[in-house]
Structure 1
Amino acid sequence: MDERQRRIAELFEKGILINEDFLEKNLEGDVIEKIEAEQDLLVLNTDYVDIIRQQSSLVDWYEIDQYRVNAEIDRDDELYQTQLQQIHHSKLFLSTSLEITHQELSSLEVSLSEPTSTFVQHHSIQEKNILPQEDTLATQLGNHAVTILVSFENKSHKYAVHDFTSFFLSRYKFLENILRSRQELQGVTTINRVLAKKERETTTIIGIVDSIETTKNDNLVITVEDNTGRIKVLVTKSKKEIYKLAKDLVHDEVIGIIGQSYDKAIFAENIIWPDVPSTHELKKGETEEFAIFLSDIHVGSTLFLKEEFTRFIHWIRGEAGSDQQRDVSSKVKYIIIAGDLVDGVGIYPSQEEELEIKDIVGQYTEFCRLIKQIPSDKKIIICPGNHDVVHLAEPQSVFYKEYTADLTSIPNITLVTNPSLVNIGKTDTFSGFDVLLYHGYSFDYYVANVESIRTGGGYHRSDLIMKFLLKRRHLAPSFSSTPYHPSHTEDPLLIKKIPDIFITGHIHYCCVANYKGITM
Structure 2
Amino acid sequence: MTISREKLIEEMFEKGILINEELLKGDIDETLLEKLKTESDLIVLNDAYVDVIKQESSLIDWYEVDKVRVHAEKDRDDDLYQSQLQNFKNSTLTFEMPQKTQKQEVSSLEVEIDHTEDFNLGTLESSKELEKLELELPPLNIDQPSSAVTILISYENKPWKFEVADFTNFFTSRFKFLEGILRNRQELQNMLSISRVLEKKERENISIIGIVDEIGETKNGNLMLTLEDFTGKIKVLITKSKKDLFLDGKDLVYDEVVGISGVTGDKIIFAENIVWPDIPSTHIIKKGPEEEYVIFLSDIHVGSKLFLEDSFKKFIQWTNGKIGNETQRNIASKVKYIFIAGDLVDGIGIYPGHETELSITTIEGQYKKFVELIKEIPSHIPIIICPGNHDLVHLAEPQPVFYQQFVPGLFDLPNVKLVTNPALINIGKKGDFDGFDVQMYHGYSFDYYVANVESIRNGGGYKRADLIMKFLLKRRHMAPSFTSTPYYPGHKEDPLLIKKVPDFFITGHIHYSSVANYKGITMISGSCWQGMTSFQEKLGHNPEPGRVPVVNLKTREVKVLRF
TM-score range, shorter chain: 0.7 to 0.9
Show the counterpart of 1:407. Answer: 410
Q: Tell me whether 1:148 sits opposite 2:151 in the alignment.
A: yes
1: CA distance between counterparts of 2:152 and 2:167?
25
Structure 1 residue 517 displacement after superposition: 0.6
> Unpaired segments of 5 or more residues in structure 1?
1-13, 18-35, 46-56, 78-83, 85-93, 115-140
Structure 1 residue 431 displacement after superposition: 1.2
The one-letter code matched in structure 2 to 1:112 is: D
Q: How does 1:190-209 map to 2 (within 5 A)?
A: 190-209=193-212
Structure 1 residue 142 displacement after superposition: 3.2
Identity of aligned residues (%): 61
Show the counterpart of 1:129. Answer: none
The one-letter code matched in structure 2 to 1:418 is: N
1: CA distance between counterparts of 2:259 and 2:468?
21
1: CA distance between counterparts of 2:183 and 2:405?
47
Structure 1 residue 63 displacement after superposition: 5.6
Q: Tell me how large the CA RMSD over aligned residues is.
A: 3.0
- Report if the CA contact (8 A) 1:260-1:269 is conserved: yes
Structure 1 residue 186 displacement after superposition: 3.0
Show the counterpart of 2:422. Answer: 419
Q: Tell me whether 1:228 sits opposite 2:231 in the alignment.
A: yes
- Report if the CA contact (8 A) 2:189-2:261 is conserved: no
- Report if the CA contact (8 A) 1:58-1:513 is conserved: no
The structure-2 alpha-carbon separation of the partners of 1:103 and 1:293, relative to structure 1 and needing over 3 Å to count, comes to: farther
Show the counterpart of 2:442. Answer: 439
The structure-2 alpha-carbon separation of the partners of 1:301 and 1:160, relative to structure 1 and needing over 3 Å to count, comes to: same
Show the counterpart of 2:112. Answer: 110
SS in 2 for 1:340: coil
2: CA distance between counterparts of 1:205 and 1:63?
34
Q: Tell me whether 1:428 sits opposite 2:409 in the alignment.
A: no
The structure-2 alpha-carbon separation of the partners of 1:146 and 1:270, relative to structure 1 and needing over 3 Å to count, comes to: same
Q: How does 1:276-425 map to 2 (within 5 A)?
A: 276-425=279-428
Structure 1 residue 346 displacement after superposition: 1.3
2: CA distance between counterparts of 1:482 and 1:242?
28
Structure 1 residue 328 displacement after superposition: 1.0
Q: Tell me whether 1:483 sits opposite 2:486 in the alignment.
A: yes
- Report if the CA contact (8 A) 2:93-2:106 is conserved: no
- Report if the CA contact (8 A) 1:16-1:44 is conserved: no
**More moved, 475-484 vs 284-293:** 284-293
- Report if the CA contact (8 A) 1:59-1:513 is conserved: no
The structure-2 alpha-carbon separation of the partners of 1:70 and 1:256, relative to structure 1 and needing over 3 Å to count, comes to: farther
Show the counterpart of 1:212. Answer: 215
Deviations 1:304-357 (CA, angstroms, capped at 9, x unpaired): 111100111111111111121111111111110000000001111110000000
2: CA distance between counterparts of 1:97 and 1:287?
25
Indicate which of 259, 262, 266 corresponds to 2:262: 259
The structure-2 alpha-carbon separation of the partners of 1:96 and 1:503, relative to structure 1 and needing over 3 Å to count, comes to: farther
The one-letter code matched in structure 2 to 1:164 is: F
- Report if the CA contact (8 A) 2:383-2:415 is conserved: yes
SS in 1 for 2:271: strand
2: CA distance between counterparts of 1:173 and 1:403?
39
Q: Tell me whether 1:271 sits opposite 2:263 in the alignment.
A: no
Structure 1 residue 95 displacement after superposition: 10
Q: What TM-score does the superposition give when structure 1 sets the normalisation length?
A: 0.78
Structure 1 residue 97 displacement after superposition: 5.1
The one-letter code matched in structure 1 to 2:112 is: V
Structure 1 residue 409 displacement after superposition: 0.7
**More moved, 477-486 vs 322-331:** 322-331
The structure-2 alpha-carbon separation of the partners of 1:313 and 1:212, relative to structure 1 and needing over 3 Å to count, comes to: same
Structure 1 residue 187 displacement after superposition: 2.4
The structure-2 alpha-carbon separation of the partners of 1:342 and 1:498, relative to structure 1 and needing over 3 Å to count, comes to: same
- Report if the CA contact (8 A) 1:97-1:324 is conserved: no
The one-letter code matched in structure 2 to 1:458 is: G
Structure 1 residue 165 displacement after superposition: 1.1
The structure-2 alpha-carbon separation of the partners of 1:490 and 1:301, relative to structure 1 and needing over 3 Å to count, comes to: same
The one-letter code matched in structure 2 to 1:447 is: V
Show the counterpart of 1:136. Answer: none
Q: Tell me whether 1:450 sits opposite 2:474 in the alignment.
A: no
Structure 1 residue 109 displacement after superposition: 6.5
Deviations 1:176-205 (CA, angstroms, capped at 9, x unpaired): 000001111132100011111000111100
Show the counterpart of 1:513. Answer: 516
The structure-2 alpha-carbon separation of the partners of 1:44 and 1:331, relative to structure 1 and needing over 3 Å to count, comes to: farther
- Report if the CA contact (8 A) 1:342-1:364 is conserved: yes
Tell me the number of residue pairs that the alignment of Structure 1 and Structure 2 aligns.
433
Deviations 1:377-410 (CA, angstroms, capped at 9, x unpaired): 1110000000001000000000100101311110
> Unpaired segments of 5 or more residues in structure 2?
1-16, 21-38, 49-60, 82-90, 96-102, 117-143, 524-563
1: CA distance between counterparts of 2:160 and 2:72?
54
2: CA distance between counterparts of 1:191 and 1:66?
39
Q: Tell me whether 1:173 sits opposite 2:176 in the alignment.
A: yes
Show the counterpart of 1:32. Answer: none
- Report if the CA contact (8 A) 2:190-2:205 is conserved: no
Indicate which of 470, 479, 485 corresponds to 1:467: 470
- Report if the CA contact (8 A) 2:214-2:254 is conserved: yes
The one-letter code matched in structure 2 to 1:513 is: A
Show the counterpart of 2:532. Answer: none
2: CA distance between counterparts of 1:285 and 1:39?
35
- Report if the CA contact (8 A) 2:397-2:488 is conserved: yes
**More moved, 474-483 vs 371-380:** 371-380
1: CA distance between counterparts of 2:259 and 2:507?
27
1: CA distance between counterparts of 2:471 and 2:387?
22
1: CA distance between counterparts of 2:92 and 2:331?
10
